[in-house]
Structure 1
Amino acid sequence: MGIVENRSLGLIEEFVEEIKGSDIRIVYPEGNDERILRAARRHKRDGIIVPILIGNPEEIKALAKSEALDIEGIEIIDPETFEKKEEMIQKFIERRKGKVDEAGAREKLKDRNYFGTMLVYMGLADGLVSGAVGTTAATILPGLQIIKMGPQSKMVSGCFVMISPEDTHRYLFADSAVNFNPSASEIADIANETARTATQFGIDPKVALLSFSTKGSASSPEQEKMEEATKIAKERYPELDVDGELQFDAAIDEVVGKRKAPGSPVAGHATVFIFPDLQAGNISYKIAERLGGYTALGPILQGMAKPVNDLSRGCNVDDAYQMGIITAFQAYKAREIQ
């Protein structure tokens, strides 16, 4: 069974082993994109998850034929002829609590991301993967409005799982996808949410709140924000193994950590890295990917009641395939909590 067709990604294979046989349904709203068709075909072939494509069936089948892709047996849902369309419209109106009328609901549900998110909300799918064509906002906003946050979550954020070239090390970087300039309080919540994701993914969470300063070695509003975030995280989440503010070398290198932050439970052993803002997080994961040879899986959205994940518009077939498995794994874990 060809689970991973690029270089071996042990984490994806571990997810596959756990979720196989669960028949988790993942909806891809961008069913008329060639990359999504190829990913869905691989899912159908491997039998690990059940892919659902949204779009006009004739257009999708014509695209598949032009690309010589066999998509026989893959479920395609046409929003125009969907048998539960009227029920979906009413549930959407109820969920938006008066913020949209029937005409507005009908118009919104022409958007495939809203339509797909409603399938997840109604329990007709377990998770959603989009963004190969549309923007991150177009993927996330329907999820925030319809699915909303999980009972344990205070905000939605995005993380990347960073896997070393030989899969000897796995780390989480956050927030690298969603929140532009989170406050100290929000950073504390992101730290806790990312630690929960790490645990879910089998990574022991040692959480470092990063800065250009270690334990007050420099002073500025930026440093003070991360120092304050550390205090809040320790008070709000006393069970969390967290420390800061730490420079990256102090967080990851044991010798440097002992010298710069003696007695720290995290310095030199961090597995979860929380950045002060989106710029820092996004730049850092791409440096690790391009210069360090790390594989970046994500962005993985965390904090929603049901999984919704965003692809880059520059994604390839592997990205779409792997994100489907990650989303299915999140859905599988969410079932365990319910």
Structure 2
Amino acid sequence: MEILKKFKEKAASDVQKIIFAEGEDERIIQAAEIVAKEGTAEIIILGDLTEIRNIAAKKKIDLEGLEIIDPKESEYIEEFSNEFYEMRKHKGINKEDAKKIIQDPLYFGTMMIYKNRAAGMVAGAANPTGNVLRPAFQIIKTKKGISTVSSAIIVLLKDKDFGENGIITFADCAVNPTPNSEQLAEIAQSTAETVEDLLSFEAKIAMLSFSTMGSARHENVTNVQEAVEIAHNKFPDLKVDGELQADAALVESVGVRKAPDSEIAGEANVLVFPDLQSSNIGVKLAQRLANSESIGPILQGLAAPINDLSRGCSVEEIVNLTAITAIQAQNH
């Protein structure tokens, strides 16, 4: 995809240090070699040094230019474990537990980011999402002014009449099953930042519902209406409106008819769904009925970029998500 080529070019323009926390996964080592050769990031692989070298030799993977750190043998263990103990002692953790936990590559990698020894991390090829996010929540936490971690999927449509020349970003597609109004407002802000960082155009956000501007009454509609009000007050520069039905958000003639006073109706390039159920359905429908391609989910809202892979990911998907993580790091 042309857009992925642009992501790689943007990542290579200001190279960032990105951690691969699952170094004993063959796909991770293969992806690290590709990223190093493409120059889109400086990769630090975490894991058992002997195991990584054995896999590389067996698969003829070139480790040149790749930094490899075994958390269990690292010179940073004492520093990191002491820091983690201070962070978590109010939760009852002792120093011995802190030292053990910080040797987990996911915790070690997150602490490297916290201590400015790396800019971001890609993980999840060998771990469920919860394992990837837990250290992030405990160590780097969320961005200033944001308390909600969310995700976005960039949908690439063949019909260029929709969104921004066929590009529409959906949120939240992976994290919050039933977001409240405050969370929806923060999801809108975080998605705008994702769009502007990665795609370099202004986000025009529609807060979706089965109602348009009060056409229906229900507690689910009220939740979206309140989210719009919060977004306007909390993020005054954000271009966001709602509540809007999907057709009113995307089709100019419908938007003019249903929401004539809205700047977003018919012009939206970001769709914030009222819940995870509807966003998942929306992405799958776009993929199957419109034969669209998609990129993501991309995590957003954290104080530093940490992105979660599917455990069934391909080497190419790891390489692509690394470029996205690097661009996010450039903007942090």
Query: What band does the TM-score fall into relative to the shorter chain?
Result: over 0.9
The one of 262, 266, 269 aligned to 1:271: 269
Q: Which residue of 1 aligns with 2:68?
A: 76
Q: Output aligned runs, 1:183-202, within 5 Å.
A: 183-201=180-198, 202=200
Q: Is 1:175 paired with 2:172? A: yes
State how far apart, in whole Å, the 2-side matches of 1:233 and 1:90 are: 39
Q: How far off is 1:282 after superposition?
A: 2.2
Q: How far off is 1:165 after superposition?
A: 4.4
The one of 39, 47, 61 aligned to 1:55: 47
Q: Which residue of 1 aligns with 2:207?
A: 209
Listed one character per residue, the Cα deviations across residues 158-194 of structure 1 (whole Å, up to 9, x for unaligned) are 1112223488422211111111111112111211221
Structure 2 counterpart of 1:298, one-letter code: G
Q: Which residue of 1 aligns with 2:323?
A: 325
CA contact (8 A) 1:203 1:271 kept: no
Q: How far off is 1:97 after superposition?
A: 4.7
Q: Is 1:88 paired with 2:80? A: yes
Distance 1:165 1:37, change over 3 A: farther
State how far apart, in whole Å, the 2-side matches of 1:232 and 1:223 are: 14
Structure 1 counterpart of 2:119, one-letter code: D
Listed one character per residue, the Cα deviations across residues 21-71 of structure 1 (whole Å, up to 9, x for unaligned) are 533111011111122112111011112211111111111122223323222
CA contact (8 A) 1:35 1:316 kept: yes
Q: Which residue of 2 aligns with 1:101?
A: 94
Deviates more, 1:166-175 or 1:203-212: 166-175
Q: Which residue of 2 aligns with 1:232?
A: 230
Structure 2 counterpart of 1:217, one-letter code: S
How many residues are aligned here?
326
Q: Which residue of 1 aligns with 2:126?
A: 133
CA contact (8 A) 2:77 2:103 kept: no
Q: Which residue of 2 aligns with 1:144?
A: 137
Moved over 6 A (4+): none
Q: Which residue of 1 aligns with 2:284?
A: 286
Q: How far off is 1:140 after superposition?
A: 1.0
- TM-score w.r.t. length of structure 1: 0.91
Structure 2 counterpart of 1:188, one-letter code: A
State how far apart, in whole Å, the 2-side matches of 1:98 and 1:222 are: 37
Q: How far off is 1:139 after superposition?
A: 0.8
Structure 2 counterpart of 1:170, one-letter code: I
State the secondary structure of the residue aligned to 2:68: strand
State how far apart, in whole Å, the 1-side matches of 2:216 and 2:13 are: 53
State the secondary structure of the residue aligned to 1:159: strand
The one of 105, 113, 119 aligned to 1:120: 113
State how far apart, in whole Å, the 2-side matches of 1:177 and 1:54 are: 26
Q: 5+ unaligned residues in a row in structure 2: which ranges?
A: none
Structure 1 counterpart of 2:331, one-letter code: K
State the secondary structure of the residue aligned to 2:298: strand
State how far apart, in whole Å, the 2-side matches of 1:176 and 1:22 are: 29
Q: Is 1:45 paired with 2:42? A: no
Q: Which residue of 1 aligns with 2:219?
A: 221
Q: Is 1:34 paired with 2:26? A: yes
Listed one character per residue, the Cα deviations across residues 210-266 of structure 1 (whole Å, up to 9, x for unaligned) are 012222222222122112222222233232221111111111111111122122111
Q: 5+ unaligned residues in a row in structure 1: which ranges?
A: 1-7
Deviates more, 1:166-175 or 1:54-63: 166-175
State the secondary structure of the residue aligned to 1:284: helix
State how far apart, in whole Å, the 1-side matches of 2:111 and 2:158 are: 38
State how far apart, in whole Å, the 2-side matches of 1:128 and 1:254 are: 40
Q: How far off is 1:330 after superposition?
A: 0.7
Structure 2 counterpart of 1:232, one-letter code: I
State how far apart, in whole Å, the 1-side matches of 2:113 and 2:32 are: 17
How many percent of aligned residue pairs carry the same amino acid? 42
